[in-house]
Amino acid sequence: MRRSRGRKINDSDRVIGDIERARERTMNRAVKLLAAKPRSIGELRERLLEKNWTNAAIVDRVIAKLEEYKYLDDQQFAADLAVSKLRRKPQGKRSLLRSLSQKKLSKETVDTAVRNAFEKLPEADLIDRAIEKRLRLKGKPETLEDKKKFFDHLLRQGFDFGLIREKMAAIAKVDLPLE
């Protein structure tokens, strides 16, 4: 019987005949999941417990072994993911916090990763990149409605309200040359 992803399995539904075989299957599944993409410990635990041929004790042992091999490290995972997301698409702290918190990481891990990522890539530089891209695509906002749309766009990307106001004021003062 196949179960859809994310569905909880009751302990009474778990069928573990051979413990060693279950441990081996769980380890193989963990390695395949990690080969597909990096995951946090919480994400991996959840995905491994989707199968009825394993249990929490086996999963915990497999995760401990993977941590020992340095295949799992939530701090490194969070740090790499935070910087990667900022390099791929400029965004503010709120947006980055929200996306990392969905990865089943502890609040402290997320906060540290976000703080370190913004030390490497300052928010002021990121908002400048976002503004340049928006200006390239839509041009300089002329009407009040266009300015509001621009402002709202930057807010949705998670940038700080005060920083957006400061940058928008600077845009309004500068006449950009037409190309």
pLDDT tens track for 125-177: 999 999 999 999 998 888 999 999 999 999 999 999 999 999 999 887 765 44
Strands (E), the chain: none
Report how far residue 160's alpha carbon sits from residue 150's, in angstroms, rounded to the nearest whole number. 14
Distances (CA, A) of 129 to 51, 52, 148, 173: 44, 48, 19, 18
pLDDT tens track for 49-104: 999 889 999 999 999 999 999 999 999 999 999 999 999 999 999 999 999 999 99
Average pLDDT in the chain: 90
